[in-house]
Amino acid sequence: MIPGLPADIDTIKGFLAEDEAQALYHYAGESLPLGPVLEVGSYCGKSTIYLGLAAKDQGSTVFALDHHRGSEEHQPGEIFHDPDLYDDSTDGVDTFREFRRNIRKAGLDDTVVPVVAGSALAARHWQTPLGMVFIDGGHSLAAALEDYRCWAMHVVRGGILTIHDVYPDAHEGGQAPWAVYQMARDSGLFEEVARVRSLGILRRL
């Protein structure tokens, strides 16, 4: 049982299985002594809460990076589009209001730092070494590669890189995260630690 986990966590919009969430909490807790956590792709904050609770335990920080306009698969007409997250006033997806409400309800306003931007912009002048990076952004090959190239090398030695939606079998899910996971694993810079369902976990050498 994770201390402080909201009773309604299962009602928060997201695509994270319970065992994956537990693994995020565990590896965040393990890596936070090395530096803060950065999450790429927060959506409505479900995964952020698990990371944030680990960081709160240690008086550390989670940087939650997302432009909050939805990934390719969240747009109107796509398979994961949610009409409740569509903002008619801006004629587009907007997950930031839902994200902020969930983070506040979880008591994590003093732990989670929202970074409302894309990877390339946020990484342009980034200087903070990171104990853990969790990549769960856009699932096109271009988006997944950009997230990896922008953030993987900010993980300190001994730190953790996690990538979500890693599916070796194309019948189970998209292949871009799997391709990036293989790239990281075969780079000589990371070693595979574990895979929990579709969550790939690597350690920086």
CATH number assigned to the domain covering 9-67+107-204: 3.40.50.150
Claim: this prediction has a pTM higher than 0.75: yes
Q: What percent of the chain shows pLDDT beyond 70?
A: 92
Over the chain, what HEC string results? CCCCCCCCHHHCCCCCCHHHHHHHHHHHHHHHHHCCEEEECCCCCHHHHHHHHHHHHCCCCEEEECCCCCCHHHCCCCCCCCHHHEECCCCEECCHHHHHHHHHHCCCCCCEEEECCCHHHHHCCCCCCEEEEEECCCCCHHHHHHHHHHHHHHEEEEEEEEECCCCCCCCCCCCHHHHHHHHHHCCCCEEEEEEECCEEEEEEC
pLDDT at 62 over 90: yes
Q: Where are the domains of the chain?
A: 9-67+107-204
> Annotated active-site positions, please?
139
For the stretch 14-57, pLDDT in tens is 989 999 999 999 999 999 999 999 999 999 999 999 999 999 99
